[in-house]
Amino acid sequence: MSTSGTSNPEYVNARVRARRAALFSDDEYQKLVRMSPAEIARRMEETEYEAEINALGTRHSGVDLIEYALNRNLAKHFDDLLDFSEGQLYDLIARYLRKFDAWNAKTIIRGLYVGADRDSIETDLIRAGEFSDRMISRLLDAGTIEDVVTILNGTIFGEGLTEAYADYEETDLLVPLENAIDRGFYGHLLDDLPNSEPVQLYREFLVAEIDFRNARNALRLARSGADIDPAAYYIDGGKLFNPSELNTLVQNQEELVSHIRESSYGRELTDVLDELEDADSMISFERGIEKALLAYSKRLGNVHPMSVAPVISYILAKEREVENIRAIARGREAGLSQAEIESELVIL
């Protein structure tokens, strides 16, 4: 509930472990891959997602229903996590969940940019972050992007956004605003973390996530061959690249891959890097780094049960589940084959 007082990892972890056990298993994904979107929705009604499917069933149908139910369920669980936890634990969880605040802020700005109406923006929000319902409805009521920037003043995104707004006015492009939000999030992720062993490992995990994100962006840039300044997409705080390295590596994919191979992540990523070089497929590389991150967080959770680690591992696993089910539903709708859908899934 608050950041004062001592943390209560025993309570939170007991609840998180029970919820983790309710996640979909390997076998269930196998079944889902063979179902149509309507059947998936019906199957979801028999599980965890019953309340959400029932609540949204009258307004949406098909893949939309699945997607909104997934998002709402995700938001419910993550909000619960913030409710349960106290003290330092709350702070550590909130740091990570602010990424949904970033997502919501970006969604609202994008919605206003393309002139979407309030309702359709609202359905796309994931209310899992730290923003209160009141804050979100204020943001939704804002008529212009400038108002949104003003309201966000005072949050962690405020500082960068105000500067970026000037850029936006000049260029009329959303990129500066979105970058400012991302940087606000990542910039505060590693701010004055307390000093203890599990927290240091948590920090390592966050650094790994930033590194992977940088690596993915760099690879995408290298492959697209587009003439974009890589520094604009660089996220601070990682240890894999520094900005100038990134600038030269983006020119050459082979050097980039060997740079990653020589880094401390090399061992975990050997397989996917081999695959990337052989098959030249970005999909398996991206799935590979997500899998590596998931496996790492799970191991961390088992090694340090009385810390924030199991919670983070649950958050990642839940996010993966939501993305997996969404990929299955969207894939089935688009008529992809089973093998193609399975290559999109991340199953540990």
Partner 1 sequence: MMANMTEIANVVLQEGALTDPTAAAALAVGLAAFGAGYAERGIGAAAVGAMAEDEDLFVNGLILTVLPETLVILALVVVFLV
Could you give the string, one character per residue 46-75, with x where binding to partner 1 holds by CB under 8 A and - elsewhere? ------------------------------
Q: How far is the CB of 310 from partner 1 (least distance, A)?
A: 12
Shortest distance in whole angstroms from residue 84 CB to partner 1: 8
Geometric angle at alpha carbon 83, from 11 and 128, rounded to 5° = 125
* 10 contacts partner 1 (rule: CB under 8 A): yes
Closer by beta carbon to partner 1, 85 or else 214 = 85
15: contact with partner 1 by CB under 8 A: yes
User: Can you tell me which of 3, 8, 150, 179 binds partner 1, judged by CB under 8 A?
Assistant: 8
Choices 13-21, 139-147, 204-212, 275-283 (CB under 8 A): range interacting with partner 1: 13-21
Q: In whole angstroms, what is the distance from residue 149 CA to residue 159 CA?
A: 10
CB of 14 to partner 1, least distance (A): 3
For partner 1, the closer CB: 15 or 106: 15
Burial class (CB in 10 A: 0-12, 13-18, 19+), 110: middle
Shortest separation between residue 12's beta carbon and partner 1, angstroms? 7
CA distance 141 to 118: 8
Asked whether position 12 contacts partner 1 by CB under 8 A, the answer is yes
Q: Does 13 bind partner 1 (CB under 8 A)?
A: yes
Restricting to residues 77-136, which ones interact with partner 1 according to CB under 8 A?
A: 84
Outline where the chain has alpha helix (H).
9-21, 26-33, 37-45, 50-56, 62-84, 87-114, 118-123, 133-141, 145-152, 158-171, 175-189, 197-224, 243-249, 253-262, 266-279, 282-303, 309-334, 338-344
C-alpha–C-alpha distance, residues 28 and 17, integer Å:
19
Strand partners, 155: 153
The residues that touch partner 1, with contacts defined as CB under 8 A, are 8, 10-15, 17-19, 84
